């Protein structure tokens, strides 16, 4: 088969069953599977051929359902939340238990104390002034601190010496901040290529006044965030595909978490658009930016990101006391670790994440949740068909 161009790849991917993607406007889909992670063209083509055949609504064929922990069959009228045993090693037993789930018609009634938010949204002292009278630069400096700037300077200088000991970068904190300022300018003032910002005819004078184009490109070439010599090999069980940017991810999540959480939170995907060729690059056709690195983000109703993680295809980490809800459900559990318990937080998500065991687990943790759901995850639940519900 000849090599495919970008447009042909998009056309092939558009044929994949809608249930294979997590999108807000695909909530009526009745099927869903794990998205595939292809590291080369041959794997992608093979994956496309295998996925063009449409899945049916049988819960036995739902990969998410196969990874769900069992629910007990018994339920009493006084039970507010069903119990969730830890997952069995037998997929067959999990399916059998899910099939035995009993649904009851009841009014879901909560009193005011159960729905009132008991959390504290007061900003801590170090953020209070910034939230009211802070300048854009002071707020930026709260997240990009002197500590992380110093780390970037040290790692960049180290990397330059590792590449060529006779030509050190000699980057300083002041110079790195100037480099960041240029990047911010470039994100607002768009030119076809980088060197045009220094053009004698159409160049952008504020950038030209900061540093020379050669120095800018040198810093960009050696910019580094983590020591390559500490990067574990691929065959190591603790190998981290995000080793090069792990300090930045950890630092930002630490700073993002300092802002108090509102009652209502949302978990969804976000694309970090890019045109670079990389095996972690994802395709989500219904996002504004279709190609890029995918982030799982927990945000407030105002759009503030309290926590995020980047999709690499290898993360399914869970703590010893956390049930295993499969790769998708575990994303919600990981992002919700920092959500205070039993103060009536509400987390919203779409049908990519929703399952009975996950919602039950969150409820037992004192966190309400709400989301659309695939019909094949509601085993034995006699809901009206789509035509009736759409009337």
pLDDT exceeds cutoff 70 at 95:
no
Give the residue, 24 or 389, on which the prediction is more confident.
389
- pLDDT-derived band at 78 (thresholds 50, 70, 90) equals very low
Q: What is the mean pLDDT of residues 222-243?
A: 94
Full-prediction pTM beyond 0.85?
no
pLDDT exceeds cutoff 60 at 32:
no
Contact call for residues 72 and 353 (beta carbons, < 8 A): no
How far apart, in whole angstroms, are the C-alpha atoms of residue 309 and residue 311?
7
Distance, C-alpha 50 to centroid of its chain: 26
Residue 376 CB contacts under 8 Å (≥ 6 apart), including other chains? 30, 31, 57, 58, 59, 62, 65
Q: 174-215: per-residue pLDDT in tens?
A: 999 999 999 999 999 999 999 999 999 999 999 999 999 999
Q: What is the mean pLDDT of residues 44-51?
A: 56
pLDDT exceeds cutoff 60 at 7:
yes
pLDDT exceeds cutoff 70 at 128:
yes
- pLDDT-derived band at 375 (thresholds 50, 70, 90) equals confident
- Extended beta strands in the chain, E state: 264-273, 282-283, 291-300, 305-310, 345-349, 367-371
How far apart, in whole angstroms, are the C-alpha atoms of residue 209 and residue 206?
5
- pLDDT-derived band at 5 (thresholds 50, 70, 90) equals confident
How far apart, in whole angstroms, are the C-alpha atoms of residue 143 and residue 231?
26
pLDDT for 77 equals 38
pLDDT for 113 equals 85
pLDDT for 114 equals 86
Give the residue, 167 or 41, on which the prediction is more confident.
167
pLDDT for 159 equals 98
Q: Which range (1-5, 108-112, 115-119) has the least confidence?
A: 1-5
The domains of the chain are located at: 1-121+262-391, 126-230
pLDDT exceeds cutoff 80 at 21:
no
Residue 166 CB contacts under 8 Å (≥ 6 apart), including other chains? none
Q: 130-152: per-residue pLDDT in tens?
A: 777 788 898 999 999 999 999 99
Percent of the chain with pLDDT strictly greater than 90: 55
- pLDDT-derived band at 16 (thresholds 50, 70, 90) equals low
Q: What is the mean pLDDT of residues 101-114?
A: 85
Sign of CA dihedral 153, 154, 159, 165: positive
pLDDT exceeds cutoff 50 at 259:
yes
pLDDT for 296 equals 96
pLDDT exceeds cutoff 60 at 88:
no
């Amino acid at each position: 088969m000849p090599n495919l161009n970008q447009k042909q790849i998009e056309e092939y991917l558009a044929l994949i069953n809608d249930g294979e993607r997590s999108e807000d406007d695909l909530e009526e889909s009745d099927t869903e599977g794990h998205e595939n992670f292809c590291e080369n063209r041959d794997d992608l083509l093979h994956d496309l051929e295998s996925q063009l055949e449409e899945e049916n609504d049988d819960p036995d064929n739902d990969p998410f359902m196969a990874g769900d922990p069992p629910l007990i069959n018994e339920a009493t009228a006084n039970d507010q939340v069903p119990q969730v045993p830890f997952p069995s090693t037998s997929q067959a037993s999990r399916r059998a238990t899910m099939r035995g789930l009993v649904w009851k018609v009841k009014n879901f009634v909560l009193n005011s104390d159960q729905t009132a938010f008991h959390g504290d949204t007061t900003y801590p002292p170090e953020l209070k002034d910034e939230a009211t009278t802070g300048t854009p630069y002071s707020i930026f400096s709260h997240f990009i601190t002197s500590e992380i700037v110093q780390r970037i300077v040290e790692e960049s200088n180290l990397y330059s010496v590792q590449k060529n000991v006779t030509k050190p970068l000699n980057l300083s904190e002041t110079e790195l901040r100037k480099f960041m300022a240029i990047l911010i300018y470039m994100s607002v003032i768009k030119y076809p290529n980088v060197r045009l910002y220094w053009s004698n005819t159409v160049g952008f004078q504020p950038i030209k006044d900061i540093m020379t184009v050669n120095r800018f490109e040198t810093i960009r070439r050696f910019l580094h965030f983590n020591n390559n010599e500490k990067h574990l090999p691929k065959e190591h069980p603790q190998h981290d595909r995000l080793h090069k940017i792990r300090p930045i991810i950890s630092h930002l999540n630490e700073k993002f978490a300092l802002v108090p959480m509102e009652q209502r939170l949302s978990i969804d995907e976000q694309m970090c658009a890019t045109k670079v060729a990389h095996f972690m690059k994802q395709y989500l056709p219904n996002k504004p930016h279709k190609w890029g690195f995918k982030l799982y983000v927990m945000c407030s109703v105002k759009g503030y990101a309290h926590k995020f993680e980047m999709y690499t295809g290898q993360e399914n980490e869970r703590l010893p006391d956390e049930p295993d809800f499969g790769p998708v459900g575990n994303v919600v559990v990981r992002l919700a670790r920092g959500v205070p318990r039993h103060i009536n937080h509400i987390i919203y998500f779409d049908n990519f994440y929703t399952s009975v065991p996950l919602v039950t687990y969150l409820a037992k943790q004192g966190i309400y949740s709400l989301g659309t759901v695939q019909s094949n995850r509601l085993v034995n639940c006699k809901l009206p068909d789509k035509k009736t519900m759409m009337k």
